[in-house]
Amino acid sequence: MIETIGIWIAAFLTLCILSFLYRDNPFYKFAEHLFIGVSAAYWAAYYYHNILLPNLVQPLFREGQLLFIIPLALGIMMLARLVPRISWVSRWPLAFIVGTYSGYYMITYLQTNAVEQIRATLVSLVQVESWQRLFAEPGIITFLYAIAVPLIVVGVITGIIYFFFSKEHKGVFGGLAKIGVWFLMIAFGASFGYTVMARISLLIGRVYFLLHSWLRII
């Protein structure tokens, strides 16, 4: 009985969301506000029980580690943003958080977004084994590999050139920058297409739920 009620509630909320395809209406707003409210409550409980409680409350009040008074004070100062007269107090913990995370993640981002990106771009170009395999195993896959590797290198270099604004984009430099624009547009188009397909997959999942679990047509 509980499972059946849950299926009917899920089907009703799904139809409320899909009703936006017709126009904005009270059913869609109800489902939207319900989703936001439930999500906010869920994440508030999650952060309290999994982050705040084990990392602040227990060490400070149960184990007596007084050093945790500092993050407690910073957290309380963050709440000062809710009071207009003393909202400026919240800038101090925000500045501390931004500065700390910037320093902490600087090495990580340099490693993942700079060094690893450069390595992934050039490693296939300089690996002798990859090119030996290309000539030893001819075929469509190896042929596409032979085309893809130089294209990746050219795309990365010309894309970087496009974002180099210290020199005017004219002549050969401007031509390379235009090639970089084409590579960027292709990359953005592929990313957008991937996002659309992901949303279509979500839609297919909800339609399947309606037809299979709710109406039992399929």
25-47 per-position pLDDT tens digit: 999 999 999 999 999 999 999 99
pLDDT at 128 > cutoff 60: no
Spatial CA neighbour of 92 closest among 112, 72, 107, 77: 77
> Same structural domain for residues 145 and 58?
no
CA distances for 131 relative to 18, 134, 142, angstroms: 52, 5, 9
Entry pTM: 0.67
Stretch 91-95: mean pLDDT, rounded?
Answer: 93
Average pLDDT, the chain: 88
Q: What average pLDDT does range 169-187 have in this prediction?
A: 94
Are residue 210 and residue 142 in the same domain, yes or no?
yes
Same domain, 39 and 72: no
pLDDT at residue 127 greater than cutoff 70: no
Q: Does 131 lie in the same domain as 218?
A: yes
Are residues 148 and 108 located together in one domain of the fold? Answer: no
| In contact, 17 and 31? CB cutoff 8 Å | yes
142 and 182, same domain (yes or no): yes
Q: How confident is the model at residue 137 (pLDDT cuts 50, 70, 90)?
A: low
Asked if residue 189 has pLDDT above 80, the reply is yes
Q: What is the mean pLDDT of residues 122-148?
A: 66
Number of domains making up the chain: 3
Q: What pLDDT shows up at residue 104? A: 84
Residues 147, 50: Cα–Cα separation, whole Å: 48
Residues 179, 102 share a domain:
no
- According to DSSP, residue 208 is labeled H
Alpha-carbon span 217 to 103, nearest angstrom: 56
Full residue range of the structural domain in which residue 186 is found:
127-218
Quote the pLDDT of residue 139.
67
Same domain, 133 and 218: yes
Helices of type H across the chain: 2-18, 26-47, 69-79, 91-109, 116-126, 128-136, 140-162, 171-208
